[in-house]
């Protein structure tokens, strides 16, 4: 009976995976062609102001965003906040942090949740304001925001010792007209 | 009042009418006016109290609204916002949509900000120790609840619904209950304050109503009494005037009848041929002459009194030497005093200044005083004429006083206020069969006042009386006395 349930869940997850839009899978990775000329803006990694963590390495950041690290050093549970699929910020995180495309990420989380390696799936929020408010409300939350969307309700963490304003900062999001 | 002002009360130990008597007399004679003044004062005083009460009630009513009613409204809003804080938090539990949960979290935080502001405002306004204590407890309890609320919200947003519910039940519910109780206590405090203030307003309004009823009743009573007193006073005045006029007519008739009887008798004797011889005829002629003069004098006095009724008789005022006045007086009354066997003692203070006056009028005025001294001066049969310097009333410099004294029957204190009234005749004098019209002193007073002076009297029963004419010093004399040189004004008309 337990095996049958597991099989059904796997089938369902596979169906969801295949139902993802084709263009999303195609847009993963660094932009090519004319898109490379678009201006960019730093993408800040933000945490709750009560969080004592100030600096994260690329590796730690990847583990957090892939749900492989579940707790902060103070013991507080990590709550991951993501934008909806297709948003430029999410694309940047997938490309530069998770180094996966949308499908691979979904598979990763489906697998992790199913096996119990990942405890909580990321919270999906529609807007950057929502991300900011969520991080403000949840002490263990971590998310990402364009630098222009950051205010003093959240705290920016360094990535590989770089702040978003620094020259060597790696995370940038494309600024498309209307974004 | 007029006659009361015409005599001096405290010139010597032999004071005729003390101040108390004067006041009592004035009270009796002007009771209606005093009653009206009393009514006015009472109404004014009570009115001030009533106005003060109304102002107090108004201030209390405004205070009730500003503090209690407004406070109750604010505390009602606080209670609603506190409930809203909790309600929005619990709503977040009902959904898995993080975006919706965030909206509820926002609502909760907006409401909690309003509550926090309201509590801070209450704490700022708290004055009484109990209020300060309550505000402190409310602030503390609200902060406790908010910290638990934040944890609950975080758990909800993290997706740990079970943990959120558990946290809320274990901490949120009791801490919010404490907040609710605190708010109810604040509300009760406002209720109590409002009740106390309302009781004050009710008490003040009741007191104002009682005072108003009291003052209306008092005013009505006193007004009625005043009207009654005025009517009674008028009636008594009319009766007194009629009585005086009757007495005057009787007196004048009597005064005229005596010489008329003599004239008639003498004429009859002459007509019947009973008078024979030149000597008898001369004697009858003298009698007729004297009686005619007496009648003429009486008629003149009556006409003079009538002419001074309006006190606008015009006299030619000129500076006069006092000796000149006394000489004229002595000359005009010599026959009278000598005939009655009176000794006249004259004393004039040397260096007296001139006075302003009309010699004829002054002589007439003083003649009345000397006539009275002769009439009422027995058994002393002594008349003292004295002229001296004195201080004018109200500190208006110096004046010259001419007094006429006698050692006669004197007057009782109760008679003094009335002797200057026209037609007044003392019952004691009437009983003593001393004839007169009651016009002499009234006429003398009018003349004195018309000349810018006044008349005063000091008298003691069975000892004698002293009437004093106070005359203003002539302008030139005043200037000389004050050391200011100026041209004298030799004559003046009033």
C-alpha angle with apex B214: B213 to B220, nearest 5 degrees? Answer: 90
Residue A143 contacts B, CB cutoff 8 Å: no
Superfamily, domain A38-174 = Periplasmic binding protein-like II (3.40.190.10)
| Distance in Å, alpha carbon of B154 to nearest chain A alpha carbon | 4
| Distance in Å, alpha carbon of A136 to nearest chain B alpha carbon | 9
**A138/B154 touch (CB, cutoff 8 Å), yes or no:** yes
Q: Which of A77, A130, A139 has its CB closest to that of B102? A: A130
Domain boundaries, chain A: 38-174
| Distance in Å, alpha carbon of A79 to nearest chain B alpha carbon | 6
What is the predicted ipTM? 0.72
The pTM (predicted TM-score) of the whole model is 0.49
CA distance B399 to B451: 13
- What is the CB neighbour count within 10 angstroms for residue B440? 20
Residue B357: CB partners within 8 Å, gap ≥ 6? Answer: B315, B317, B318, B320, B325, B451, B453, B471
Residue B163 contacts A, CB cutoff 8 Å: no
Residue B493 contacts A, CB cutoff 8 Å: no
Query: What stretch of H or E contains A10?
Result: helix A2-19
Which residues 102-131 on chain B approach chain A with CB closer than 8 angstroms?
102, 105-106
CB A47 within 8 A of CB A154: yes
Instruction: Name A143's bridge partners.
Output: A46
CB contacts of B99 in chain A (<8 Å) are 125-127, 130
Half-sphere exposure of B101 (CA within 13 A, CB side): 27
> Which residue is closest to B153 within chain A, CA to CA?
A137
CB A122 within 8 A of CB A82: yes
Residue A130 contacts B, CB cutoff 8 Å: yes
Q: Which of B412, B385, B414 is nearest to B401 (CA)?
A: B385
pLDDT in tens, chain B (494 residues): 333 334 443 333 334 444 555 555 555 556 667 767 777 787 788 778 778 877 877 887 777 777 777 777 888 888 999 999 999 999 998 988 889 999 999 999 999 999 999 999 888 888 888 889 999 999 999 999 999 999 999 999 988 889 999 999 999 999 999 999 999 998 888 888 778 878 877 887 788 788 778 878 877 887 787 788 778 878 888 888 788 778 777 767 777 777 788 888 888 888 888 888 888 888 888 888 888 887 887 787 777 777 766 555 567 788 889 999 999 899 888 888 888 889 999 999 998 999 988 888 898 889 889 988 998 888 788 999 999 998 887 666 789 999 999 999 898 888 888 888 877 878 888 788 777 777 788 888 888 888 888 999 999 888 899 999 999 888 765 555 544 333 333 333 32
Residue B99 contacts A, CB cutoff 8 Å: yes
Q: Which domains does chain B have, with CATH numbers?
A: 42-216 (1.20.120.1730), 316-493 (3.30.565.10)
């Amino acid at each position: 009976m337990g095996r049958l349930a597991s099989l059904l869940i796997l089938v369902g997850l596979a169906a969801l995976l295949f139902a993802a839009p084709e263009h999303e899978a195609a847009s993963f990775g660094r932009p090519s062609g004319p898109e490379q000329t678009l201006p960019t803006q730093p993408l800040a990694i933000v945490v709750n102001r009560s969080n004592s963590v100030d600096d994260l390495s690329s590796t730690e950041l990847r583990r957090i965003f892939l749900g492989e690290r579940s707790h902060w050093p103070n013991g507080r549970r990590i709550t991951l906040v993501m934008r909806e699929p297709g948003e430029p910020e999410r694309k940047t995180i997938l490309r530069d942090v998770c180094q996966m495309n949308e499908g691979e990420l979904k598979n990763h989380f489906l697998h992790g949740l199913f096996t119990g390696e990942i405890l909580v799936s990321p919270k999906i929020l529609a807007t950057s304001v929502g991300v900011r408010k969520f991080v403000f409300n949840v002490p263990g939350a971590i998310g990402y925001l364009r630098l222009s969307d950051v205010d003093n309700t959240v705290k920016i963490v360094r990535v590989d010792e770089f702040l978003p304003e620094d020259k060597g900062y790696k995370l940038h999001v494309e600024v498309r007209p209307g974004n | 009042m007029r006659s009361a002002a015409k005599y001096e009360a405290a010139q010597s130990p032999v004071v005729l009418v003390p101040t108390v008597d004067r006041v009592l007399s004035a009270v009796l004679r002007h009771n209606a006016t005093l009653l009206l003044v009393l009514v006015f004062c009472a109404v004014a005083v009570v009115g001030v109290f009533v106005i003060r009460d109304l102002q107090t009630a108004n201030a209390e009513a405004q205070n009730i609204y500003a503090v209690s009613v407004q406070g109750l409204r604010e505390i009602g809003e606080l209670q609603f916002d506190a409930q809203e804080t909790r309600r929005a938090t619990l709503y977040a539990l009902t959904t898995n949509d993080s975006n919706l949960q965030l909206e509820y979290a926002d609502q909760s935080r907006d409401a909690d900000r309003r509550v926090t502001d309201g509590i801070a405002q209450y704490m700022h306004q708290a004055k009484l120790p109990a209020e300060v204590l309550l505000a402190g407890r409310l602030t503390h309890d609200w902060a406790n609840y908010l910290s638990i609320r934040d944890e609950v919200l975080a758990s909800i947003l993290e997706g740990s619904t079970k943990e959120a519910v558990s946290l809320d039940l274990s901490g949120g519910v009791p801490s919010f209950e404490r907040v609710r109780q605190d708010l109810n206590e604040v509300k009760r405090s406002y209720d109590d304050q409002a009740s106390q203030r309302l009781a004050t307003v009710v008490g003040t309004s009741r007191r104002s109503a009682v005072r108003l009823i009291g003052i209306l009743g008092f005013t009505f009573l006193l007004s009625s009494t005043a009207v009654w007193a005025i009517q009674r006073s008028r009636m008594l005045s009319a009766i007194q005037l009629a009585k005086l006029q009757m007495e005057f007519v009787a007196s004048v008739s009597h005064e005229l009848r005596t010489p008329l009887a003599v004239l008639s008798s003498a004429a009859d004797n002459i007509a019947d041929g009973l008078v024979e011889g030149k000597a008898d005829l001369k004697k009858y002629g003298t009698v007729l002459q004297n009686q005619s003069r007496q009648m003429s004098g009486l008629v003149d006095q009556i006409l003079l009194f009538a002419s001074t009724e309006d006190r606008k008789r015009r006299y030619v005022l000129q500076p006069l030497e006092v000796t000149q006045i006394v000489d004229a007086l002595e000359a005009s009354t010599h026959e009278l005093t000598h005939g009655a066997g009176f000794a006249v003692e004259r004393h004039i203070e040397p260096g007296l200044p001139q006075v302003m006056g009309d010699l004829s009028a002054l002589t007439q005025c003083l003649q009345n005083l000397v006539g009275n001294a002769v009439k009422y001066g027995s058994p002393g049969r002594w008349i003292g004429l004295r002229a001296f310097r004195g201080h004018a009333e109200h500190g208006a410099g110096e004046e010259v006083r001419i007094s006429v004294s006698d050692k006669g029957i004197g007057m009782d204190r109760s008679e003094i206020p009335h002797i200057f009234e026209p037609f007044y005749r003392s019952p004691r004098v009437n009983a003593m069969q001393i004839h007169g019209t009651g016009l002499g002193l009234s006429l003398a007073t009018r003349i004195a006042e018309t000349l810018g002076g006044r008349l005063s009297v000091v008298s003691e029963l069975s000892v004698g009386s002293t009437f004093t004419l106070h005359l203003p010093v002539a302008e030139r004399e005043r200037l000389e006395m004050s050391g200011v040189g100026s041209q004298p004004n030799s004559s003046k008309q009033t």
